[in-house]
Amino acid sequence: MFHPGPIFSEVLLADEINRASPKTQSALLEAMEESQVSVDGLSRPLPQPFFVIATQNPLHQVGTFPLPESQLERFLMCISLGYPDRAAERALLEGEARRDMLRHLAPVARPADLQAAQAAIKRIFVSAALLDYVQALLAHSRATGKYAEGLSPRAGLALLAAARAWAWLDGRDHVIPEDIQNVLPPVAGHRLHTASREGGKALHGQELAAQLIAAVKLP
């Protein structure tokens, strides 16, 4: 008898994802791309909506595995949290244990609410001029020679989706150039790698994304 595991949920939180083995990463890739899990020759659909939120340890730490490029592409964004500021750290030190606080969390949305928001975001208008801008960003990343690999068409789709969501959160029914620029670093940062070291050091992906914004003119 088949027993659904924790992946059969609307939101999957994969803590320290790069400590999982490459075999586990391959299985997760199917879920992220196809929204299904294949076991014993049968494909079982995952609940909808379905998305993955993951944390990862620094790659220099023992027991970590680098995520394959194909899996990194499936993540819409990569955000570095860094250390908390002094006030947030003090609240953490003085407050209730965070694990205990989980028991008191109240839901703020139902799956149907999220699906409605996703549908509304898809209707956000993007002008032809902004599509030209997105294509110019993609083309420059491929042609400049600065990056080991240029941004893929999947990255372009992710950039548009994130820009639409940014505009929707700002209460607008259309995307403006600043939306694309605001979301480009977290969307492209984990997809861009320097082709060579500049000044003796490798640049961070979000630094490379910032360079890309500066290099391509606005429409």
> Would residue 4 count as lying in a domain?
no
pLDDT tens-place values along the chain, 219 residues long: 788 888 899 989 888 888 888 788 878 888 988 999 988 888 999 999 998 999 888 767 777 887 878 888 889 999 888 888 999 999 889 888 878 888 888 888 898 999 999 999 999 999 999 999 999 999 999 998 888 889 999 999 999 999 999 999 999 999 999 999 999 999 998 898 887 655 444 457 778 888 899 999 887
- For 63, the domain range is 11-75
What tokens does 28 get?
């997760």
Residue-level pLDDT at 27: 80
Residue-level pLDDT at 196: 64
Residue 68 shares a structural domain with residue 131: no
Instruction: Write the CATH number for 61.
Output: 3.40.50.300
Whole-model pTM: value is: 0.84
Give the total number of structural domains in the chain.
2
Residue-level pLDDT at 44: 92
174 touches 127 (CB < 8 A) = yes
Phi and psi torsions of 167, nearest 5°: -65, -40
Residue 122 shares a structural domain with residue 211: yes
- Strand (E) positions, the chain? 11-14, 36-39, 42-45, 51-54
Pairing mode, strands 51-54 and 11-14:
parallel
> What's the CA gap between 182 and 174, in Å, rounded?
15
Residue 202 shares a structural domain with residue 122: yes
Instruction: Write the CATH number for 129.
Output: 1.10.8.80
Residue-level pLDDT at 131: 97
